[in-house]
Amino acid sequence: MGLGFLLEQPFAQHALLAAALVSIAAGLISPFVVTRGMSFAVHGTSELAFTGAAAGLLVANNAVVGALVGSLVVAALIATLGARPRERDSAIGAILAFGMGMGILLLGFYQGYATAATNILFGNIFGVSGGQLLVLLALGLIVVVVMGIWYRPMLFASIDPETAEARGVPVGRLGLLFLLVLALTVTGAAQVVGTLLVLSLAITPGAAAQRLTASPLAVAGLSVFFAIAAADGGLLVSFEFTTVKASVFITSISFAIYVAARAAGPALRRRQQR
């Protein structure tokens, strides 16, 4: 199968489009994940998207909706149990461990599909149905719209919550909104790279972008670009090497960008100082 032939196939086009949209969402929230120190929350939410996906498969044979419900429930739990940053991480740890256990239990009931677990954990965007792709598109759009509207107050609240609060920014409510957007993004990204590897789209691009510039808008732009480059780039490469899962290439590209940014970053940022 040549690349050209594959690119004409609707399933490949859909996959590339879904990956791009999910990447835009992930790229937009990624700098905030880094600034707010919420990497572990991403990890926790995505692990529990696994539980949700397993439940979704079992109940309705629909992993995407299951993952969505799962990550929303987790976002709500993190918000209630871990309002303060220090207790947040321990709360997430407690929820995560229990949730994963439930996920394994649920998956045990789902007979005949040993691949189901692998697909949820490591992603399989080509196995996603047309209807589920629409759900992904909707998720991506919601995240983009929400971030477009609340970007500035979210930035203020992430960087300097005390001052932001004094200026009338609803810091607490924005924190909730961010968890919600995070849950949607995680659900989407989990379809592309799998719940275990969501971090490569939701954390790495923002972390890399921050190394290169301190302009908030440039960070957002670069982060989105890096996420798309990793997700769609990884999918394209996987068309050539069909025996290897796309997630392998996606995470590799994402990591390569991060390493390059860390190497180039100090010099670039020092130049900005002038």
Q: Does 153 bind another protein (CB under 8 A)?
A: yes
Contact mark string toward another protein, 213..252, x via CB under 8 A: xxxxx-x---------------------------------
- Tell me which long-range contacts 172-176 makes (C-beta under 8 A, separation of at least 24): 174/150, 175/79, 176/79
- Cβ-based nearer residue to another protein, 111 or 273: 273
One residue of 104, 105, 166, 260 binding another protein per CB under 8 A: 166
- Cβ-based nearer residue to another protein, 171 or 196: 171
Q: Smallest distance, Å, CB 214 to another protein?
A: 3
Contact mark string toward another protein, 29..48, x via CB under 8 A: --x---x-------------
Q: Smallest distance, Å, CB 23 to another protein?
A: 19
CB 223 within 8 A of CB 100: no
φ and ψ of 69, to 5 deg? -60, -45
Q: How many residues line the site for another protein (CB under 8 A)?
A: 34
Tokens of 183: 């849950």
CB 66 within 8 A of CB 55: yes
In this structure, is the dihedral angle defined by the CA atoms of residues 179, 184, 188 and 191, taken in order, positive or negative?
A: positive
Q: Smallest distance, Å, CB 184 to another protein?
A: 19
Q: Smallest distance, Å, CB 148 to another protein?
A: 7
CA distance 114 to 183: 26
Unique residue bearing structure tokens 């697909």: 119
Q: Does 274 bind another protein (CB under 8 A)?
A: yes
Half-sphere exposure of residue 271, counting CA atoms within 13 Å on the CB side? 7
Residue 224 region by backbone torsions, left for phi larger than 0, else alpha for psi between -120 and 50, else beta: alpha
Q: What is the footprint of another protein within residues 78-97 (CB under 8 A)?
A: none
Q: Does 264 bind another protein (CB under 8 A)?
A: no
In this structure, is the dihedral angle defined by the CA atoms of residues 192, 194, 195 and 197, taken in order, positive or negative?
A: negative
One residue of 156, 176, 225, 255 binding another protein per CB under 8 A: 156
- Cβ-based nearer residue to another protein, 102 or 269: 269
Tokens of 110: 């789902």
In this structure, is the dihedral angle defined by the CA atoms of residues 39, 41, 42 and 44, taken in order, positive or negative?
A: positive
Half-sphere exposure of residue 14, counting CA atoms within 13 Å on the CB side? 18
One residue of 5, 163, 241, 244 binding another protein per CB under 8 A: 163
Q: Does 211 bind another protein (CB under 8 A)?
A: yes
Q: Does 205 bind another protein (CB under 8 A)?
A: no
Which region among 7-15, 106-114, 185-193, 209-217 touches another protein (by CB under 8 A)? Answer: 209-217
Residue 129 region by backbone torsions, left for phi larger than 0, else alpha for psi between -120 and 50, else beta: beta
Per CB under 8 A, residues contacting another protein are 31, 35, 148-153, 155-156, 159-160, 162-169, 209-211, 213-217, 219, 269-270, 272-274
